[in-house]
């Protein structure tokens, strides 16, 4: 059963067709790896799915509903959340507040009367302890190391507890130890039945984590299937080597 689909999805920047008639589907509760050479449209796909960039043509189908425009603020209702390839934290806020801010009331008038609350604070503690950032809770986000920053972004996603999680190169530039931590977290997300889209250039990680692999090239679908089968295909290897 598919929880998220794109139907002839198009995204153009002037003359550049970053997404070119892309029709792909994501199975509920599975981890789909998305690979493809630089500039093949992977990040653009995530930006369009999360409403950060407007759809040029085609549609996104979420939970059976076909959408031609997505407003980012409705993502929690659609059950979608994401990380960013270029880590985006609330830099001049504490590590704790970076998590708290995704747990509080969305409506402005409710937010005005809302103070700190035990339940939310415990949730912040729970997710920060899980990733080992609890000790850093009072530090400003911009004081974290690169690896910790990547980790904090994933923690924010954990706190959101969405059903569909889009991860844009969460391992990029990380040391082995940190990779292990994030592999573990992704394992837990899978065990919890979340639908995960994982964009990643490291083929070993893709092989290890994916239930299904989608290969993008020039904004379109090049190949898809089981990881081992897809990664052995000549056209896939060529697309990567040819870049």
Partner 1 sequence: MEYLIHLAVMSSIYAILGMSLNLVVGYAGLLSVTHAAFYGIGAYAVGILTVSHGYGFFGATAIGMACAALAAWFIGIVSGRFKGDYYALVSFGFNIIVFSIFLNVQSVTRGPLGIPGIPKPEVFGMLIRSNAQFLLLAIAFTLATYAVSQWIVTSSFGRTLKGIREDEDALRVFGYDTARYKRIIFVIAAMLAAVGGSLFASYISYIDPSTFSLNESIFILSLVILGGLANVNGSVFGAIFFILLPEILRFVGFPPDIAAQMRQVAYGLILVLLMLYRPQGMFGEYKL
Ligand X SMILES: Nc1ncnc2c1ncn2[C@@H]1O[C@H](COP(=O)(O)OP(=O)(O)OP(=O)(O)O)[C@@H](O)[C@H]1O
52 lies in the site for partner 1, by CB under 8 A: yes
44 lies in the site for ligand X, by CB under 6 A: yes
Place of tokens 């893709």: 206
Q: Which of 25, 56, 85, 94 binds ligand X (CB under 6 A)?
A: 85
x/- mask, Mg ion, residues 19-58, rule CB under 5 A, reads: -----------------------xx---------------
Q: In Å, what is the CA distance from 242 to each residue of 48, 234, 238?
A: 27, 11, 6
81 lies in the site for partner 1, by CB under 8 A: yes
Selected range binding ligand X among 25-33, 38-46, 57-65, 144-152, rule: CB under 6 A: 38-46
43 lies in the site for ligand X, by CB under 6 A: yes
Q: Which is nearer to ligand X, 46 or 152 (CB)?
A: 46
Site size with partner 1, rule: CB under 8 A: 34
240 lies in the site for partner 1, by CB under 8 A: no
Q: In Å, what is the CA distance from 167 to each residue of 164, 188, 217, 239, 241?
A: 10, 14, 19, 22, 24
Selected range binding ligand X among 39-47, 73-81, 118-126, 204-212, rule: CB under 6 A: 39-47
First to last CA, the chain: 34
Taking the C-alpha atoms of residue 60 and residue 51, their distance in angstroms, rounded to an integer, is 10
Taking the C-alpha atoms of residue 214 and residue 237, their distance in angstroms, rounded to an integer, is 13
Taking the C-alpha atoms of residue 164 and residue 81, their distance in angstroms, rounded to an integer, is 6
């Amino acid at each position: 059963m598919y929880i998220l689909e794109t139907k002839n999805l198009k995204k153009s920047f002037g003359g550049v067709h970053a997404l070119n008639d892309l029709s792909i589907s994501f199975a509920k509760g599975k981890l789909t790896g998305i690979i493809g050479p630089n500039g093949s449209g992977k990040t653009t796909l995530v930006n369009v799915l999360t409403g950060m960039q407007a759809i040029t043509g085609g549609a996104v189908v979420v939970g059976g509903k076909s959408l031609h425009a997505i407003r980012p603020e409705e993502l929690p209702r659609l059950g979608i959340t994401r990380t960013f390839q270029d880590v985006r934290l609330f830099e001049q806020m504490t590590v704790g507040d970076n998590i708290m801010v995704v747990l509080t009331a969305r409506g402005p008038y409710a937010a005005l009367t809302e103070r700190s609350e035990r339940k939310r604070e415990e949730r912040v503690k729970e997710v920060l302890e899980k990733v080992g950032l609890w000790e850093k809770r009072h530090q400003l986000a911009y004081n974290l190391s690169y690896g910790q920053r990547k980790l904090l972004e994933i923690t924010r996603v954990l706190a959101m507890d969405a059903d569909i999680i889009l991860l844009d190169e969460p391992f990029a530039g990380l040391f082995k130890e940190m990779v292990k931590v994030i592999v573990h977290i992704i394992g837990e997300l899978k065990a919890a039945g979340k639908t995960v889209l994982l964009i990643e250039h490291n083929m070993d990680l893709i092989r290890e984590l994916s239930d299904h692999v989608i290969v993008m090239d020039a904004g379109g679908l090049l190949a898809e299937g089981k990881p081992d089968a897809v990664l052995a295909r000549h056209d896939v290897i060529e697309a990567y080597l040819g870049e």
